[in-house]
Amino acid sequence: MRLIIRLTVIAIMVFSCKNDNKPVNTVKEEKAKLKKVHSLIDANDKRIGDVIIGNMVNDTLFKELYIIKDNDTIYQIKDRLFKNKEGIDFEIYTDGFSGFYIVHKASDYIVLGGTFNRGRDISDNLTIEWNPRQELMYLLRLP
């Protein structure tokens, strides 16, 4: 009888310790989460897309930005490249880059700031706006 009880306990222990598919590193998973921060609309109240940030450095700094409309990415900032639906829009120098932060949210554009060297250096503001004629998001460049 004792042998049967022992074998039953061992069988229960073996079958209850199946391969667990839980993530090993939850900190990386937290940073990978995306967060919607704004919705863009044009002058005719037509939806342009949602502004989503990711790869969070802290509560305000992030390294990725996406503008998404109907599951299509119409603008993105990732791995130092700014891209729209036509291709690469802009490229930044990333040595010592700490992250972006939101300066201003308007109906059809968003203004970002960038920090370098852990916040000791700050970039000029970057305005990403909607061009209704081309139906294109782009980085505003001043002459």
User: pLDDT digits over 12-34, tens only?
Assistant: 655 555 544 444 444 445 445 89
pLDDT digits (tens, 9 = 90+) for 51-103: 999 999 999 999 999 999 999 999 999 998 999 999 999 998 878 899 999 99
Residue 90 domain flag: yes
Domain that holds residue 41: 34-139
Q: How many domains does the chain have?
A: 1
For residue 95, tell me if it sits in a domain: yes
For the entire predicted model, the pTM comes to: 0.75
- pLDDT of 14: 54
Residue 113 lies in a domain: yes
Structure tokens at 45: 């109240």
8 or 28: which carries more pLDDT confidence? 8
How large is the average pLDDT for residues 25-48?
A: 80
Q: How many CB atoms lie within 10 A of CB 82?
A: 19
